[in-house]
Structures are given as C-alpha cells and as structure tokens.
Amino acid sequence: MISRTTIDRVFETARVEEVIGEFVQLKKAGSNFKGLSPFTDEKTPSFMVSPVKQIWKDFSTGKGGNSVSFLMEHEHYSYPEAIRYLAKKYNIEIEETEQTDEQKEQLNERESMFLVSKFAKDYFHDILLNSDQGKAIGLSYFKERGFREETISKFELGYAIDEWDAFTKQALKKGYDLKYLEKTGLTIVKENKQFDRFKGRVLFPIHSMSGRILGFGGRILTNDKKAAKYLNSPESDIYHKSKILYGIYHAKKEIAKQDNCFLVEGYTDVISFHQSNIENVVASSGTALTSDQIRLVNRLTKNITVLFDGDAAGIRASIRGIDLILEQGMNVKVVTFPEGEDPDSFAKSHSDSELKEYLANNAQDFINFKVSLLMESAQNDPVKKAGLIRDIVSSISKIPDSIQREVYVQECARIMEISERVLFSELAQLVSKTSKEEAKKHYEKQKSFEVVKRQKEQLEEIDSLYLLEREIIRILLLYGNNEADFVDWIEAEDEEGNISLEKEKYTNQISKELYLNLQDDEIEFTNSLFKAIYYDIIHQLNQADKIETDYFINHENKEITSMVTEILMDDEKYALSDWERKNIFVTEAKEILPKLVTDSILNLRRVLIDKKIKDLIKDTQEQKAEIIDLELINSYIGLKKKLYEKLLRVV
C-alpha cells in the first residue's frame, strides 16, 4: 500500500496541465488552457484546465477533478495506479506499507488483467534477451530487420518460446490466476488443458496512450501455412483493437510538437520510422481505420498524413479511411511510396534526411491523390470520369467546415477542368441528403424516447434546496476566506407602534457570516454530499481559521473531488465562450459578495419556510383533521413576507 507521504508528494509535484497535455492538445485561453473533450466526439472545445487551481473540467460530460482523477477517468486507472504513474513521471520514490489480504482481494478484474499483461510483457522481453532460444530465433529476427538494441528495448519487443505452455506455467508459478490469463487471451483454455496463444512468435506489446499494456501482436517465424502470419490478442475488457493505435504512447509528445501525425499500417513501419528519428507515427495494426482511432489523433493534432504502400490494390481498399478523417474535421494529406516499397523498407534503404525529404516533397492533398489514383482507370471514358468526380465530391461533402468545402470544390474544378457550378450543385445534393438522413435518425430517436421524456418531465421538479445548498458551498469554497461589509436588518418600532426594518452595517469574514446564520436557524444540509463538504469546511475553520480548497481537490472521496472541481470551475466556462470578445461582460462576484451571501441565506430560509407550510397542510390532510392550525401557518407566512421584504421582492 502506498504511504501517505508519497501520495502527498505526488499531489504537491504533479502539474495538471503537464499530465493532461500528454493526452489532449491544450491551447492557452487566458490564465487557463482549453482543448477538445477526450471523453466525447466534439468539434468545439469544452475541456478546460486551470494551472492556478490545478484542476480540470469537461463541460460536455460534467466530469472534472485533479491530475489523479483525470488518469482514473481517461485511462481507467485505479487510485493507486494513478499515483504510481505520476510518481514514475516525476521521479518520486514510492514508499509502501504492507498490504492486507483484504486489500489485495479488492483488486478488480481490469486491474488484474493489466497486471497479468505487464508480467507477460516483462517475461517475453526477458526471454528475447536472455534465453538461448529467444536470442537465437527472436533477437536474430529483429536484428535481421535492422532493429537496434535500444529500439528493441524502447518498444519492449519480446519472444514466446516455441513450447505449448512455457509462459502459462511460469505465470501460474508466479501466482497469477488462470482466469485472467484466459481473459487477456494470453492462455487458451480447453477442457483440462491450457496452452500459450503466442508460442513461437516474436511479440509487439500494444500500449495505451499512457503506456499500459493492453495486448500483443505476434508474428510467426515459420512457414506454417495453416497458422496466421500475424496474431493479435482477442477483444477483452482492456483491449479493443478498433480503439487503439500502435505506437500512440511513444508518439504522442512528438505528434503534438510537430502538429502532424503519420499514419502507417504495421508495427515494423512504426519502429523503422523511430529509428529514422521520425517519432510522430502510429499504425492501425493492419485493420481498417476506425473513427475511434482517428479521435485518438484528433486530441493531439488536426493534421494526419496517411502513408500508403506502393500497392494500388491495397490503396483502393484503404481509401475509405480518408473520408472518416475528413468527417472529423481534420486535415488529411497522403504520401505513396514507389511500387514494391512500404514505409519500413523505404526507411531502411534511405538515410534519415532522404526519408524526411521524400515525405515533405510527396505529400499531396486528398483530391490530387484520388485523381492520380483513379484517373488511370477513367482515362478517356466520360462515364468513369463522371464517377470519379462524384467520388471526389462525395469526399468533400464529408468535411464539416463549409469554407473548407468550397475551397476544395474550387480545387477539384481546376484539376478536373469542370464547371464549379456543376460541382456545387452536386455537393448541395449530397449535403442535403446527408442532412435529411441525420434529421430522420434524430426524429426517430426523439420519438422513441418521447414517452420516457414526458414521464421524466412530469416527475422532475427543480430542486430549490439543492441549488441553494450548492450556492452556499460555492461561496464558502471560492470566497470563504474573504471579508466583506454586510447589512443587518433590525426591527425598529416608532412612537406610534409601527414596526419597520432598518439597516445596520458591519464587517465579517464570509465563512463566519454564513456559519453564524446557519447556526442561528439550526439549518442542516439536506444533501449528504454538501453536508460532508460543509462539515469538512467547519473542521478546517476550527483548526486553522482558513479554508484550504486543495484538501477537497485531492480528497479521497471521488464524489467530493468531482463536486468541488465543478464548483471551482464554474466561472471558467465563460473563457470557452470568449464572451469578452463578443462585448458581453460578466459581473465579478467579488463586487457583489455581501449580496450573494445575504441572498443565499434569505432564499434558503424562504424555501425551508415554504416547505414547512406545505408539510403542515399535507399532515393535516393526511390525518383528516377538521381544524387546520391557521395561527401557526399565518406565523410562517408572516416570516416569509419579511424575508421577501429583505430580498426586495414582492409576494
């Protein structure tokens, strides 16, 4: 178990903008950073990071927290795993206390699968480097491919001994559960037998964006025609082939730095490019490109350069991926290699500078690429040429930005020597058709949920108490340590016996003002989360006469961390809308602090009195009493009127 000292050091050292910057492309927005949500598919940034407060907020999903909670949400880390990741990142030595059997049992299945996968990666890598069979077969193969020792270590390449259950036996001997060996696909279990999935193969560990081992790709080294050349880990709770890109962990920093990502097909393409000092490269691992994979890149850059082998048939089969990239509003360029070459072979046969020069000089936009690819088959055939033009316009219609679409239409008209008017007409029809289809889907979806929605609306009422209690917690967290000038309303009686309210000014600390008023009225928070936060605040004030928001940001209770982060980031949402540029100015809360505090207390009292009156009437009706305690109800109504006077409102 990680010691409290280590956890405190991690929280003190970790910078939320640095941690999140490894997964999301962040841009400066005043004193904060903003970016696209890593949790949803969006075109407009709704993700905000505050270096000052050391918290983040995703306004599209409502998620938020500190650097640890981000890793837990984005990478599905457990709390200890997130702490370990940050400790490693910031070179903090981890102090551990003895873990109980009960704590060990609490590890969930996903965590156990990650532990098994990490053990497998270390085992296969060690076999490759230190066993006779590993060195003679696996290491020899990688060296024949031109991979240097530092590259083999960097990508943690491995080898599985060509025996039925060598890995499985070792894993079981080390105490790993067969259940998780099977769930990760490392071991195949049949009846009372079990054997290694990757036996006799060289292995490419597949990392998540944060470096966790999700699965493996294995290449066979024999000429066995019955066995697949490449074999991947099966789909599991931690490995989804369509949602990961090989090399993303090693490439993410360079992708953001270069503001471009090279997309290749295979593992060796990625590794060879790294050896040629081009690190902003990822692979789709031999599968058709998916929207989820594109979104991974979209978080880091808007620019993708797709690298195709010099194989026309393979290019045509992969061309659909370009439309998927365009659909997500990204800029796409294409580089094709000479016939018979692929990124791996070309990188090996050319110097680093020659490779970089080739990529720079041969990158073309998707229109020129499609024209050069398909024009050969069209040649002088008008029907085929018309089909080619429609194909290109269809790709242009996928682009969400209308200005960009227009520019591409003009370019297409110039290259294909055709009227812009005709192309715009075709484009309009395609866009209209797509819009109608989307509208139809949306309508059907809305219709199917209509009954549920109506029922929900009937049942839902605005929870005034929740909003008011949240407002009090918000004021305490943001301004509780500040002082302000307040006005108290004192009942004064004139000579004729008339009672009126008179102002009396005084200065007090915000937190004390709220505490004293809540104490006077003996008000208890109805929401358990707000109650827990409030008691922690009072405890802090009793101990140090000051509210420390860092305590709540790094709280062990995830719900408290999430709620406090949401409150602290409330004002930051204005930066996303850039209201000042639109000449919309929001009043600074500090300017009206006394009113905020007073109104929150008076409104809470008003709502509680309303509730009391309703409860009295309801109790009377349920008991079928003939006499209603009008005197008590009238006294509450009298109190309510005084509150409205103080709020300068009319009943």
We report the CATH number of the domain holding residue 129 as: 3.90.980.10
For residues 363 and 367, give the distance between their C-alpha atoms in angstroms, rounded to a whole number: 12
Please state the rounded mean pLDDT for residues 336-360.
94
User: Do 186 and 271 share a domain, yes or no?
Assistant: no
Instruction: Considering only residues 519 and 276, tell me which one the structure prediction assigns the higher pLDDT.
Output: 276
Residue type present at position 37: S
Q: Residue written as tokens 């077969």? A: 137
User: In this structure, is residue 263 part of a structural domain?
Assistant: yes
pLDDT higher than threshold 90 for residue 245: yes
Beta strands in 186-257 (DSSP E): 187-190, 193-196, 201-207, 213-220, 230-232
Hey, which of 18-27, 367-376, 388-397, 399-408 has the most confident mean pLDDT?
Answer: 18-27
Gap between the terminal Cα atoms of the chain: 59
Residue 596 pLDDT:
85
Residues 209 and 299 grouped into a single domain: no
Residues 399 and 264 grouped into a single domain: yes
Q: How far is CA 127 from the centre of its chain?
A: 36
557-564 long-range contacts, CB within 8 A, separation 24+:
557/532, 558/65, 558/69, 558/72, 559/529, 560/529, 560/532, 560/533, 560/536, 561/65, 561/66, 561/69, 562/63, 562/64, 562/65, 562/69, 563/473, 563/529, 563/530, 563/533, 564/477, 564/533
For residues 135 and 79, state if they share a domain.
Answer: no
Give the C-alpha separation, 400 to 329, whole Å. 6
- 104 has pLDDT over 60: no
Could you give the percent of the chain with pLDDT greater than 90?
37
pLDDT of residue 74: 86
Q: Can you give the pLDDT at residue 435?
A: 61
Q: Where is average pLDDT lowest: 50-64, 311-325, 450-464?
A: 450-464
> What pLDDT score was predicted for residue 451?
46
Rounded Cα–Cα distance for residues 509 and 594 (Å): 10
Residues of the chain with pLDDT > 70: what percent?
Answer: 82
Q: What's the mean pLDDT in 357-374?
A: 86
**Boundary of a domain, candidates 83, 103, 123:** 103
Q: Report pLDDT for 261.
A: 96
408 pLDDT more than 90 = no
**pLDDT recorded at residue 416:** 81
Sign (positive or negative) of CA dihedral 630, 631, 633, 637:
positive
What mean pLDDT, rounded, does the chain reach? Answer: 83
Core vs surface per residue 587-618: b (16+ CB within 10 A) or e:
eeeeeebbebbbbbbbbbbbbbbeeebeeeee
Within this chain, do residues 67 and 118 fall inside the same structural domain, yes or no?
no
DSSP 377-414: HHTT-HHHHHHHHHHHHHHHHT-S-HHHHHHHHHHHHH
pLDDT at 380: 72
Domain membership flag for residue 59? yes
State the helix-helix crossing angle for 67-74 and 558-568, rounded to 10 degrees. Answer: 110
What confidence tier does 314 reach under pLDDT thresholds 50, 70, 90? low
Identify the domain boundary among 175, 209, 239. Answer: 239
Q: What is the pLDDT of residue 622?
A: 61
Residue 16 has what pLDDT?
94
User: HSE (CB half, 13 Å, CA atoms) of 123?
Assistant: 23
Q: Does 156 fall in a domain?
A: yes
Q: How many domains does the chain have?
A: 4
**Are 515 and 600 within 8 A, CB to CB?**
no
d(CA 3, CA 9): 10
| Residue 11 in this model has a pLDDT that exceeds 80 | yes
The average pLDDT across 307-317 equals: 71
Residue 204 lies in a domain: yes
Q: Are residues 91 and 199 in the same domain?
A: no
List, for residues 437-492, the tens digit of each pLDDT value.
Answer: 555 554 555 554 554 444 444 434 457 788 889 999 999 999 999 888 887 767 77
Q: Do 114 and 99 belong to one domain?
A: no
User: What's the average model confidence in pLDDT over 495-516?
Assistant: 82
Distance of CA 2 to the CA centre of its chain: 26
SS3 35: strand
d(CA 203, CA 156): 9
Reported as a pLDDT band with limits 50, 70 and 90, residue 346 is very high
pLDDT of 155 > 60? The answer is yes
In CATH, what number is assigned to the domain containing residue 255? 3.40.1360.10
Q: At what angle do helices 420-448 and 402-416 cross, to 10 degrees?
A: 140
Is the confidence at residue 172, as pLDDT, over 90?
yes
pLDDT at position 194: 93
- The one-letter code for the residue type at 518 is L
pTM over 0.75: no
CB 124 within 8 A of CB 159: yes
| In 22-177, alpha helices (H) | 67-74, 79-89, 101-105, 109-130, 132-133, 140-144, 149-154, 166-173
3-state secondary structure (DSSP) of residue 417: coil
Q: Evaluate whether residue 496 is within a structural domain.
A: yes
Is 264 within the bounds of a domain?
Answer: yes
Give the domain extent around 635.
464-547+587-646
Q: What type of residue sits at position 457?
A: E
Q: State whether 407 and 477 are in the same domain.
A: no
Q: Are residues 312 and 375 in the same domain?
A: yes
pLDDT above 50 (res 570): yes
> Within this chain, do residues 308 and 342 fall inside the same structural domain, yes or no?
yes
CATH number for the domain that contains residue 48: 3.90.580.10
Residue 543 has pLDDT above 60, yes or no: yes
Q: Name the pLDDT band for 276 (thresholds 50, 70, 90).
A: very high
The span from the CA of 31 to the CA of 245, in Å, is 33
Inter-axis angle of helices 420-448 and 450-459, nearest 10: 60
Domain-located, residue 552:
no
Last residue of a domain, one of 378, 411, 432: 432
C-beta neighbour count of 358 within 10 angstroms: 16
Q: How far apart are CA 516 and CA 512, in angstroms?
A: 6
The answer to whether residue 394 is domain-embedded is yes
CA pair distance 354, 352, nearest whole angstrom: 6
Residues 592 and 485 in one domain: yes
Show the tokens assigned to 370. Answer: 């499609």
Given this model, what pLDDT does residue 458 score? 40
Higher pLDDT, 556 or 541: 541
pLDDT of 363 reads 94
Weakest-pLDDT range from 33-37, 83-87, 517-521? 517-521
Do residues 410 and 530 both lie within one domain? no
Does position 650 have pLDDT exceeding 50, yes or no? no
